[in-house]
Every structure is written in structure tokens, then in C-alpha cells.
Amino acid sequence: MRPRAILFDVNEDAAFKRFFSAPELVEVVARSAVPRWGERVGPATFEPVPTELIGERLARREADMIWLVRPRDGRRPLLLLLEFQARSERHMVLRTTEYAVMAVRATIAASGEEPDAVCVVLHHGEGSWTAPTRLEDLFEAPPPSRYHLISAEPDGGGGASSRRDVIIFGARSVRSRTPGALREELPRLVKALRALGDAELNRVMAERIRDLLASRGYSPKLLEEAMTVDQLQTEWDRGMEAIREEGREEGRAELRAEWDRGMEAIREEGREEGRAAGRRELLCRLAERKFGTAVSARLSDVLEESLDSDRIDDLLAAVFGCASGEQFMARALRGE
């Protein structure tokens, strides 16, 4: 009579976890899979850690076994993730990568340590394992295990190219806080778009800049007709010049109003000494309004020399005629 085969009814996952729960066996697995660890590891350096992994938005994953390894040489800790698989699974490398990332993040959150991580898959089924074991073998392009850096800062990554300049403009313009800061970036963008020769990209960039300016409170009406970045730059400069001219007209009107108020006060002053002091005071106020406090302070020092009335009248006229504080002070110091 032939003996009957005895079949074990077991939970394979539980059985594997139980069998490989001894640190001595984990050390064998580690040294077999990662020979470079060498004498850095030993049975006493392995610590089991919870296998439930919680990621962003409370996503939960359950690894088979995770061990934290503290090397004898005191270097950074190591994470060993052990998975038991009965059959080849093409996307296994995605799962092990996800587990490793979540385990490393959990360790950083718990202790601040940044461990190295190694995943080991123990294939115990029939047939050969045909699935990729590295991310780069799963993808044609460079795998997502790395990222490409393009930095908006000087000497940032990404290499020098016209396309990079377009991207950098986008990063810097979104970060800019004033239309003037954004305008400073335009020449580089114009040069890059000319080099690329892509009319549709040029149109899209002009549209994005108008949207960005509108979000910053700068009226895009002046730029509605600009269909390319070149045209936008030209129309922008025309608009800003019109605004500056309007501001100059308003400034001149304010100066004239200040002049009229000052002269009225001087006429009401009965004494000659009082009228002279009033003209000096008016001159300082006008200089401060147009050129700023620094110029006004320097002018006060010049007026300490008790300039005559004709000289003061000349400087009052110069406030309106000079385009800059430097030009005005040069005239005041020359005595011309």
C-alpha cells in the first residue's frame, strides 16, 4: 500500500515571517543580498520595526518584514525590507520602491535619522523570476528615482539654453512682486524666444504675462494688442513712459501749488528779514518735495552762507528746471 502524500494547510505569509524572524537568518539574507555591508552587520544589530506604513493622506501599505540595522561602525542606520513572493510580478520594483520611501520617511519622522534602504524579494515559487529588479529596467526614459533640477537662482541646474531661460522667466515672474521687477526679466525672455523661433510659444508667453500683470493689479488694457512678447515689451515701455510723464505733470502742478502758497506767505510777512527767511524755507520745501530729504539737507548747509535774494530766486527757478537732485546741487554749489 502506497503512503498517501501529506499536504500542509498553512498560511504561507505567516509561515515565512515566522521562519525568518530570527536575527541570525536575517543577517544571512542581508549579507547574501548586500555583500558590501560585510562586517558592518551582525545578529545583534538587527531590530524589527512595524511593517504598517502610513503615507500621505493616510495611505496605508503593509510590508512583509522590515528590519532596522545599526552598523557596528556607528555609521548611518540601514533599513532592510524583506518581501516573500511566489510568482514573478512585473511591477514589483514599484512596490518595493514605494515601501522603501515610506519606511525611510517614517524613520526620519520618528528619530530624525536618514537611513539607507535595501529591498530584498525572496522568490519561493516555481519558474524563474522575469520581472525587472531595477526601476531603470522598467522605463525607457530615466527612472523616477531621480529628479532633474532647474533652478531660478544664479548658476542653477538645468544647463544654459533658451528653453531653460523661458522656464526661469516663468519662475522669476511668478515670484516677482512689482511690474517693474517683472519688466527687468523681459529682455532675456525675448532673446530666448527669438532663438527658439516658436511663434506659438511666443504667443502663449505673451498671454501668460498679461494674465500675471492683471493679477498684480497692472491694467492689461495697454497690452491688449500685443500678440508676441516683443510687442508686449514695446507697448509696456510706451505705457510706462506715459505714466511717468503723467506723474511729472502732477509733480510740477504740486510744486507750483507749493510755490503759490509759499509766495503768498512771504508777501504777508511785513519785515524784510522775515521775507528772506520765508524764501529760504520755501526753497528747502520745494527741493525736498522734488528731490528728496537728502538734497534738502545739503541745500540747508549751503543756505547757511546767507545767499542774497537774487541767488535764492535763481535756485527757486532751478528747482523747476533741473531734472535731478545732483544737477540742482551742482548749480547751487557753483553759484551760477
Which pLDDT value is given to residue 198?
92
CATH number for the segment(s) 12-137: 3.40.1350
Which pLDDT value is given to residue 76?
81
Q: What is the pLDDT of residues 104-149, one digit of tens each?
A: 888 888 888 898 888 888 888 888 889 888 888 888 777 777 766 7
Which pLDDT value is given to residue 201?
92
**8 A C-beta contact, residue 58 and residue 108:** no
Which pLDDT value is given to residue 3?
40
Which pLDDT value is given to residue 177?
66
Side-chain-facing half-sphere of 65: CA atoms under 13 Å: 28
In degrees, rounded to 5, the angle at the alpha carbon of residue 274 between the alpha carbons of residues 269 and 276 is 115
330: left (phi over 0), alpha (psi -120 to 50) or beta: alpha
Which pLDDT value is given to residue 175?
78
Low-confidence spans in the chain with pLDDT less than 50: 1-10, 156-158, 243, 247, 270-271, 274, 336
**8 A C-beta contact, residue 62 and residue 100:** no
Which pLDDT value is given to residue 200?
93
The cell numbers describing 294, all together, are 537728502
Which pLDDT value is given to residue 7?
37
Where along the chain do the CATH 3.40.1350 domains lie?
A: 12-137
| Residues facing 81 on adjacent strands | 66, 119
pTM over 0.85: no
